[in-house]
Structure 1
């Protein structure tokens, strides 16, 4: 049994999980009760302002940035307790967080690589959810292959001047800042000459254009930088070290929060099984086999996550994790529609609660939960590093195979 220091002294992992569970039971009530289960992938538009208020409620109660050191506003909890929080949060069907990019990605990266001035400037706003962040990595010509970024930044009169385009930028339309990988050394190629910049989005040189998806929602965006500026000291790490910083951030991205993601996956799978029983498709041998494979696959995903947490990261761990969950979730989306039979092809009049669906923009599709899951998961094997890129990383960095020929 592990224990760590909390605000009230030592607390066991079991007691910590009970505290999380009790707090969520007490606080996901009243004005927050209707937020349960909202805002997941493909549904980021749901109740955004209310979920932002919920995130700030979490912050006021000390439930944000749990794994950060106490000196930066965190609670310094153990990995086991951090995992317990995410799992209890998912079991409670608490709303998807709007501050994930800042808290789980940029915050740990600043703590590891940022200057003390950068930490003091940005970490409080992340912890208190008063500043929201977006991730400026992918570009039209450099999606999963980040080393090919063409966005440039040059130092001029004490500022970085940024030009270029980022794409598939999650929640940029509601973010205050973006961390941007840009090429700062003219003539450099691949992972050399890149820098990791912190860029304000509310300025004349930045244009954010939402991208409408198959689901009818628009949480992804194109972001154009036309002589956008940021201060010279808002580079994380040394200029030219952006590749190292960017790769470290991706390790944080696939950290303990993925255990909570898997609880959400399990809840989705349980819903699929229940629908198969109601529709009678659970008697179909093929459907039964696919359900069994989904149960096994979810256990494999969890086993890999637990095996790789806590120790020194090894090459390929994050790529294996991405391959496992992305393919599994895509297949679950197809299964969610198939267990409904022909009814899976027809848009329902009501959502899964039986209440009328939340009003959306007239251009948005009125989809059922299973249909939204099916459509959105088509992209799971592409965003965040495509399957092809993940397999290249494993083959080259783990197995030592020859590098793929590049044009």
Structure 2
């Protein structure tokens, strides 16, 4: 539980960072480095690792001051780093020195991170993945393919889940690593999206090597480590702005205000309902963060992810309905280089509408989220699994 003294300490530190490093004039890496050194990157992390060891809920206090002064939203600059890699490193890296060496450049966004989980034959069935990791002295040799890896073409480091034992059931033969995305044997190929951008990629590993020191968790315990990543990913994807009216609903409200010529009572009623749903999600996220203490998120992150993904799609569908025929005019649809195509990742509202189609797939499909909530939160019987207890190598694959 947070105390008034903890809250005041966080607020004082945030105000000091802003006073000493004006976010409107200081380079972003320098500003975010000052936030890290002050313990404001993740306030619930240990001191010396970007945190203060206080309640997770106090992050909103820091963010309100830092972003209110014009500071960037770090999650938007390094989403896999802030939302997934940092909490996984904090909990499972083998030494404090290694944690610090990864966390600070992650926090400053000098090192972008990516998540190497999904494969062509293992999307929703993540535990069925086939990428192999074979020990060779103090290294592991990696061979295989990953797909839908967001920002892999810009990433310095990747979170990799690989199979180290094919002779045991699929969940038990996995091990978790951090891989150098610039190392030999790692090839990244951008994939073009519906938006015209190339935000995500397929990645090939051909005898790529990882030192055993970059293993997170025990050999064969990769599934448990992956759960740390996935729970934090869903919490990050399902989170909403800490301010009333922030987040994607602000796009719809702003569009409504700018186009009085398109107003109708029906569209006004729909916008009101979307605003109410967004506010309910925001308050639920705030309550979840406040009750999380210093630990990580639980299954409730799946609620935020499920609700947030579908709400985003409804919001941008409303925007298209408001615009009518103008909604099909996507002037910025250019097949740009993958670096150039992210210069303005938000783009026009038409681009955001197209991008929102992926919200109910990425980070776990809505069907997967409903299964998780049904089984782990409501205690309903699990789905029938024909391969339960079967060694991975004996499971039929297409």
Quickly name the TM-score band, shorter chain normalised: 0.7 to 0.9
**Distance between the aligned counterparts of 1:165 and 1:68, measured in 2?**
33
The RMSD of aligned alpha carbons is 3.5
**Distance between the aligned counterparts of 1:20 and 1:258, measured in 2?**
28
Number of aligned residues: 373
Match of 1:402 among 377, 381, 384: 381
- Residue 24 of structure 2: aligned partner: 28
- Residue 84 of structure 2: aligned partner: 105
Q: Kindly indicate whether residue 301 of structure 2 is the aligned counterpart of residue 324 of structure 1.
A: no
1 or 2 for the larger relative contact order (CA 8 Å, sep ≥6)?
2
Q: In the TM superposition, what is the alpha-carbon distance from 1:201 to its structure 2 partner? A: 1.5
**Distance between the aligned counterparts of 1:267 and 1:275, measured in 2?**
14
Structure 1 residues 346 and 75: alpha-carbon distance in aligned structure 2, compared to 1, 3 A threshold: same
- Residue 245 of structure 1: aligned partner: 225
**Distance between the aligned counterparts of 2:341 and 2:107, measured in 1?**
33
Structure 1 residues 111 and 313: alpha-carbon distance in aligned structure 2, compared to 1, 3 A threshold: closer
Q: In the TM superposition, what is the alpha-carbon distance from 1:90 to its structure 2 partner? A: 5.5
Structure 1 residues 15 and 298: alpha-carbon distance in aligned structure 2, compared to 1, 3 A threshold: farther
Match of 1:339 among 312, 316, 322: 322
**Distance between the aligned counterparts of 1:111 and 1:323, measured in 2?**
26
**Distance between the aligned counterparts of 1:220 and 1:268, measured in 2?**
21
The farther-off stretch of 159-168 and 312-321 is: 312-321
Structure 1 residues 147 and 286: alpha-carbon distance in aligned structure 2, compared to 1, 3 A threshold: farther
**Distance between the aligned counterparts of 1:289 and 1:139, measured in 2?**
42
- The alignment's TM-score, normalised by the length of structure 2, stands at 0.81
SS at match of 2:160: strand
- Residue 390 of structure 1: aligned partner: 369
Offset from partner CA, 1:21-47 (integer Å, 9 cap, x none): 7678x3224xx7xxxxxxxxxxxxxxx
Q: In the TM superposition, what is the alpha-carbon distance from 1:167 to its structure 2 partner? A: 1.2
SS at match of 1:72: coil
Structure 1 residues 282 and 208: alpha-carbon distance in aligned structure 2, compared to 1, 3 A threshold: same
SS at match of 1:380: coil
For the 8 Å contact 2:249–2:278, the answer to whether it is kept is no
- Residue 94 of structure 1: aligned partner: 72
Structure 1 residues 341 and 15: alpha-carbon distance in aligned structure 2, compared to 1, 3 A threshold: farther
- Residue 235 of structure 1: aligned partner: 215
Q: In the TM superposition, what is the alpha-carbon distance from 1:103 to its structure 2 partner? A: 3.7
- The alignment's TM-score, normalised by the length of structure 1, stands at 0.79
Structure 1 residues 250 and 83: alpha-carbon distance in aligned structure 2, compared to 1, 3 A threshold: farther
The farther-off stretch of 336-345 and 234-243 is: 336-345
Structure 1 residues 56 and 265: alpha-carbon distance in aligned structure 2, compared to 1, 3 A threshold: farther
- Residue 352 of structure 2: aligned partner: 373
Structure 1 residues 302 and 380: alpha-carbon distance in aligned structure 2, compared to 1, 3 A threshold: same
**Distance between the aligned counterparts of 2:284 and 2:151, measured in 1?**
29
**Distance between the aligned counterparts of 2:195 and 2:209, measured in 1?**
34
Match of 1:82 among 59, 72, 93: 59
The farther-off stretch of 325-334 and 286-295 is: 286-295
For the 8 Å contact 1:103–1:126, the answer to whether it is kept is yes
- Residue 214 of structure 1: aligned partner: 194
- Residue 8 of structure 2: aligned partner: 11
**Distance between the aligned counterparts of 1:204 and 1:265, measured in 2?**
46
